[in-house]
Every structure is written in C-alpha cells, then in structure tokens.
Amino acid sequence: MRSPRSGSAHRRRVWHISPEGFRELRHSCLLSVKACAELLGCSVSSVKAWDRGISRVPWSAVKLLRLLRSVDLGALRTEWRGWTLDRNGMVSPEGFAYSLGDLGW
C-alpha cells in the first residue's frame, strides 16, 4: 500500500477564483451584493468578503452563478439539453414552466 504522500499518489487540484473574477461573474449576472447573497443563501458579509478577496469563494457558488449566467442546463449535461433557467424556475424544451415551488418536492 502506498502512502498518500508518495509522488505517484493522486493530488487534489486546488481551485481558486480571484476577487476580480468573482465580481465580474456577479456583475455579469446583474446581481448586487444583496441579491447575490439572497440567491446563494449566504450572508451579505460573505459576498463582500469574496468581492474583497478576504475569503475564498466556494466552488458551488461559482458553479451556480455560471449556470445562472448561461441559463442553459444542457451546458452541464446533454440530458438537460433544451431545459433553461430563469429567475422563477425552470422551463422545459416544450415551453412548460416549473416554478421554484414546483421544484421543491
């Protein structure tokens, strides 16, 4: 059995977005600091800390903002091709809208 510290062990890739990159992403989604916090379910102080580079932005937050910006779920997986997101929920390829409440169950 090899030690996790050995040279051949798989190393976890460290991911990081700069504060400028995060602000640019947030602005491209047309989100204020407060709206971004509400969307991501975090505090305003967290978003401000990410904006200033005081703390690292969680990968999940970046992924959600990128998804919001592109709105096409097909960009994530081919099975979702044609499904889109808007501020009210999801829209099927056939044009049926599903609100956030519909998606909760």
Query: pLDDT tier at 14 (50, 70, 90 boundaries)?
Result: low
Residue with the larger pLDDT of the pair 18 and 5:
18
Q: Read off the pLDDT of each residue in 10-34 and give the average, rounded to a whole number.
A: 86
Q: In the prediction, which pLDDT does 13 show?
A: 57
Q: What is the pLDDT of residues 38-90, one digit of tens each?
A: 999 999 999 999 999 999 999 889 988 988 887 777 766 788 888 887 777 88
- The answer, yes or no, to whether residue 32 has pLDDT greater than 80, is yes
Structural domains of the chain, ranges and CATH numbers in brackets: 15-70 (1.10.260.40), 71-105 (no CATH)
Number of CB atoms found within 10 A of residue 105's CB: 4
d(CA 88, CA 28): 18
Q: Are 29 and 65 in contact (CB under 8 A)?
A: yes
